[in-house]
Amino acid sequence: MSELIEVLTKDGTYSLRSEFFQENFHSSLGALEETKIKFTNPSHLKRFKGKSLNVLDICFGLGYNSASLLNELIKQESYLNLYALEIDKKPLEYSLRSKSFLKLWVPKVQEIFESLYRNDYFEDQFFKCGVLWGDAREEINTIPSGIKFDLIYLDGFSPQKCPHVWTLEFLSKVTEKLNPRGYLITYSSSAAVRKTLRNLGLEIFNIKPLFNDKTCWSKGTIAIAKFEKNNLKSNFNFEKLSIMEEEHLLTKASIPYRDRDLNSSKDDIIKKRLDEQLFSNLGSSKEWRKKWGMTKSASKG
Ligand SMILES: C[S@@+](CC[C@H](N)C(=O)[O-])C[C@H]1O[C@@H](n2cnc3c(N)ncnc32)[C@H](O)[C@@H]1O
């Protein structure tokens, strides 16, 4: 599966490129920056100071999202129950060999990652962490059904490159595991992903970019089952979808990826969606882009 090439990103941190998926693990702007802006900051971790939380990290990869989470929680003495899903052990092996990766975090992160690599598990007074190695579509079933997550990070390769982790059927399993007030956080602002999450009963919000322009109108999506609207504060880094984004969800781009038995190949999932788009009466996303003067949407790469 893995043919991985080292990539230096613009914030000076290292990432990987997968030849198999033909995509980088992180935006070329910065691996650490992407983790902070798209996952750690929107998690509002201060809420859990001195308290306990459950987190699911889907597509653990090099472990930037979990490492950054652990780094913050260690400092504020939270108690964490972390599950990670990942198909390939090589990115974690790379992280453990990379001095520049390890020095981004407090030393305990290395201790936890070494234990995850050797034993798939780490436990001490504050943290219980485990990686379930294998296809996330199967491994998600091994998480005890009683566990509901306060945070779910979804960081797969983009839907066109790795549709398996963005289908209606997989996202349905993921949302079942979300605490009613939990946040499902992803870098993706794909109309298909957003519409699917909304159809599954979640409220969706846009992760605000620092500077909004036509090439970068989103840093991702947060989906929440029960969100009290009055709680949406102006200092939050997420906001309700704009009219432009709502209109995106009315185009053919919003047609979901489907994987009925959760074992389809990439080509089957993509082809089924293309067929559905062909017969759909929804407007084209090309017209939507033209109307809003859009050049490209936010994605990895
Ligand atoms: C964009 S990278 C993840 C970036 C990651 N969060 C990090 O910090 O490096 C996507 C990851 O998804 C994994 N992956 C791809 N398909 C998967 C599947 N079906 N189940 C579980 N993991 C998968 C890849 O091996 C890769 O490590």
Task: For 216-225, write each residue's pLDDT tens digit.
Answer: 788 899 999 9
For atom 27 of ligand 1, which residue has the closest CA? 61
What distance, in Å, lies between the first and last C-alpha atoms of the chain?
19
pLDDT band at residue 33 under the 50/70/90 scheme: very high
Which one is predicted more confidently, 237 or 98? 98
Please work out whether the CB of residue 156 comes within 6 Å of at least one atom of ligand 1.
yes
Helical H segments across 103-161, by residue range: 107-119, 136-139
Whether 295 shows a pLDDT value over 80: the answer reads no
Residue-wise pLDDT for 113-129, tens only, equals 999 999 999 999 999 99
Given CA atoms 4, 8, 11, 13 in this order, what sign does their dihedral have? positive
What is this structure's pTM?
Answer: 0.96
Q: Is 120 in the pocket of ligand 1 (CB under 6 A)?
A: no
Candidates 59, 62, 65: which one to mutate for ligand 1, based on the most atoms within 8 Å of Cβ? 59
Q: Is 26 helix (H, G, I), strand (E, B) or coil?
A: coil
Each residue's pLDDT tens digit, 10-25 = 999 999 999 999 999 9
Per-residue confidence (pLDDT) for residue 190, from 0 to 100: 96
Q: In this predicted structure, what is the pLDDT of residue 215?
A: 67
User: Which residues does residue 178 pair with via DSSP β-bridges, in sequence order?
Assistant: 149
Sequence-distant (≥ 6) Cβ neighbours of residue 230 within 8 angstroms: none
126: DSSP letter: S
Look up tokens 């306060």; give the residue.
150
Decide: helix, strand or coil at residue 140: helix
Q: pLDDT by residue (tens digit) across 92-111? A: 999 999 999 999 999 999 99
Query: Average pLDDT, whole number, for the chain?
Result: 94
Report pLDDT digits (tens) over 258-285. 999 999 999 999 999 999 999 999 999 9
For residue 204, pLDDT beyond 60: yes
For residue 64, pLDDT beyond 60: yes
Q: Mind listing the domains of the chain with CATH numbers?
A: 32-292 (3.40.50.150)
Q: Is 40 in the pocket of ligand 1 (CB under 6 A)?
A: no
Indicate whether residue 88 lines ligand 1 (CB < 6 A): yes
Q: What is the mean pLDDT of residues 145-163?
A: 97
3-state helix, strand, coil in the chain (%, to 5): 40, 25, 40
CA–centroid distance, 57 to ligand 1, in Å, is: 10
> Which atom of ligand 1 is nearest to 1's Cα?
25
Which of these, 184, 171, 189, 170, lies nearest to 241 by C-alpha position? 189
Cα(57)–Cα(36) distance, rounded to whole angstroms? 15
pLDDT at 235: 63
> What value does the mean pLDDT take over residues 163-171?
98
**The pLDDT of residue 298:** 45
CB of 61 closer than 6 angstroms to any ligand 1 atom? yes
